[in-house]
Amino acid sequence: MKITASEVNALRKITGAGMMDCKKALQEANGDQKEAIEILRKKGQKVAAKRSDRDAAEGLVIAKTTNDGKRAAMIVLNCETDFVAKNDDFAGVANTILDAAIANNPASLDELKGLSYADSGLNIADKITEEIGKIGEKIELSAYESVAAESAFAYNHPGNKLAAIVGFNDDAGADAAKDVAMQVAAMAPVAVSPNEIPQDLIAKETEIARDLAIQEGKPAEMADKIAQGRVNKWFKEAALLEQAFIKDNKKSIKQYLGEQKEGLTVTEFRRIALS
């Protein structure tokens, strides 16, 4: 069956696949566009399987806040090369996925992957498979996080390799909310406050501090007290509210928030960075 150039171009506009791939798919489908799209999609599935052992360390980390400012979401869409990560089409896919997360508030990454991708007739997982076929690289939606609070803020670090989302118990104001989100991005706290730090991490830090004290020649009976002092100092690095404010290290984040509004605090946060 003869396939016209206009048919090939039409399929290429829909799928983004190469000219020859589109022509071969149309020939195999006897000119049926829907079947040709399915053939190209299956090609994408083959590419995905073939590249399942490849690293997808590049990509984009992006975050957004809902219009009412009470929820923020963040996703990571990975690829293999920085060239693809900087491509406008790839960024468009990432932002469309994030928009679906903002609109639908999925409970998990798997639930997000099952949501519809715009008006394409595909779910997000199938759209990613289609993109693999178009681009020829491993692409993976590897992370999804969200926070819900009285007010929420999303911070995207320039370059889109790092983002943070923060929830507050009250309206923090745009400037203060951004300051705290930037603090989370820059200083990578473990928890909001010391009492929220996982006990296994505290135990590990305590053990390290005690061993160090003994290696320094301190008596065993003093090692526990020295270790506790060092862990208390570590709390000021690991707990967001105890951290020194990056714009004024004479005050903590807790003090900074109290200056903005009485009782203002952080309820939760999430941070993701591509290594």
pLDDT bracket for residue 172 (50, 70, 90): very high
Q: What pLDDT score does 164 carry?
A: 97
Task: For residues 20-39, give the mean pLDDT.
Answer: 89
pLDDT bucket at 34, cuts 50 / 70 / 90: confident
Lowest mean pLDDT among 110-114, 137-141, 196-200, 214-218: 214-218
Q: CA 106 to CA 245: how far, in whole Å?
A: 33
Location of structure tokens 């941070």: 271
Rounded to 5 degrees, φ, ψ at 119 are -110, 35
How far is residue 132's CA from residue 21's CA, in Å, rounded to a whole number?
14
Whether the per-residue pLDDT at 52 is higher than 70: the answer is no
Whole-number pLDDT of residue 216: 84
| Terminal-to-terminal C-alpha distance of the chain | 50
What is the band of 244 on the pLDDT scale with cuts at 50, 70, 90? very high
Parallel, antiparallel or unpaired: strands 248-252 and 244-245 = antiparallel
pLDDT in tens, 66-85: 999 999 999 999 999 999 99
Q: Are 125 and 52 in contact (CB under 8 A)?
A: no
Domains and their CATH numbers in the chain: 5-50 (1.10.8.10), 58-148 (3.30.479.20), 194-269 (1.10.286.20)
Non-local CB neighbours of 82 within 8 Å, separated by 6+ positions: 58
d(CA 23, CA 264): 61
pTM of the predicted model, to two decimals? 0.82
Confidence category of residue 51, pLDDT binned at 50, 70, 90? low
Q: How many other CB atoms are there within 10 angstroms of residue 237's CB atom?
A: 13
Residue 212 has pLDDT above 70, yes or no: yes
- Please enumerate in sequence order all residues whose Cβ is within 8 A of that of 13, keeping only pairs 6 or more positions apart, or say none: none
pLDDT over 90 at 126, yes or no: yes
Rg (CA), the chain: 24
Using DSSP bridges, classify how beta strands 162-168 and 244-245 pair: parallel, antiparallel or unpaired: unpaired
Contact 66, 52 (CB under 8 A): no
Residue 174: other Cβ atoms inside 10 A: 11
- Cβ(262)–Cβ(252) below 8 Å: no
What is residue 145's predicted lDDT score, i.e. its pLDDT? 97
